[in-house]
């Protein structure tokens, strides 16, 4: 059973998330909070496995709360929920160690699977959020085709296919379905991709794919 806490200043959003996630037999919503300060107390007392974290909140925003939580021993996994199209705070949350990003209008089945994936330790990024984070990180610079292509030449053809799917924001399960492989094989490919590209971050992989002109 995965224990969840919802942190969002909008009571309608919290209600909606409860309706989406609360009926799943393996997901248990144990608490909620309307801002970051309250979230710190709720999370300390309830010890959830995953926190669904809004970024823009009064009193203490989601970035500060994420940073404080991840600095603690044995922290929960953080799934950031966002309603905006592009924001440097999303990139900052990634740098702090958030486990994933989802738009709040993500279809319920995909949101449920995203929560399960983050609970398993798999990073999750909405495709549109992935592209926005890449845009923010590259800050308008031109793609570095030759250098990026040399880096991607280290990959096998199969690893390159997986890297492109990562850049599109696909989850491990989605990659497995599209490329006709098991989830375990996808994970093994991603591990090799990280090693060859000298990174441990899916967005960094996506940036290299973008720079190579493969998106």
Note the pLDDT of residue 76: 95
Note the pLDDT of residue 137: 57
Cβ–Cβ under 8 Å, residues 190 and 166: yes
Q: What is the pTM of this model?
A: 0.70
Output the CA angle 196-179-151, nearest 5 degrees: 20
The size of the chain, in residues, is 215
Strands (E), the chain: 2-7, 27-33, 50-54, 77-82, 100-103, 124-125
The per-residue pLDDT for range 52-80, each reduced to its tens digit, is: 999 889 889 998 999 999 989 899 999 98
Note the pLDDT of residue 84: 64
| Ordered domains of the chain (ranges, CATH) | 2-136 (3.40.50.2300), 142-211 (1.10.10.10)
pLDDT tops 70 at residue 130: no
């Amino acid at each position: 059973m995965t224990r969840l806490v919802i942190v969002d200043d909008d009571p309608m959003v919290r209600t909606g998330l409860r309706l989406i996630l609360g009926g799943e037999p393996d997901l248990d919503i144990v608490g909620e909070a309307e801002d970051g300060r309250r979230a710190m107390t709720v999370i300390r007392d309830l010890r959830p496995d995953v926190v669904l974290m809004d970024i823009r909140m009064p009193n203490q925003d989601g970035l500060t709360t994420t940073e404080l939580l991840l600095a603690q021993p044995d922290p929960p996994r953080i799934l950031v929920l966002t309603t905006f199209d592009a924001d440097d705070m999303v990139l900052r949350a990634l740098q702090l160690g958030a486990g994933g990003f989802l738009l709040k209008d993500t279809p319920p089945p995909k949101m449920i699977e995203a929560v399960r994936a983050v609970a398993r330790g798999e990073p999750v990024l909405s495709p549109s959020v992935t592209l926005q984070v890449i845009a923010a990180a590259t800050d308008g610079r031109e793609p570095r085709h030759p250098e990026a292509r040399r880096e991607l030449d280290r990959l096998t053809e199969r690893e390159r296919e997986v890297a492109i799917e990562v850049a599109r924001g696909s989850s491990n399960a989605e990659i497995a379905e599209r490329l006709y492989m098991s989830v375990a094989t996808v994970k093994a490919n991603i591990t090799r991709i990280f090693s060859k590209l000298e990174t441990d971050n899916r967005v960094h992989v996506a940036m290299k794919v973008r720079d190579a002109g493969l998106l």
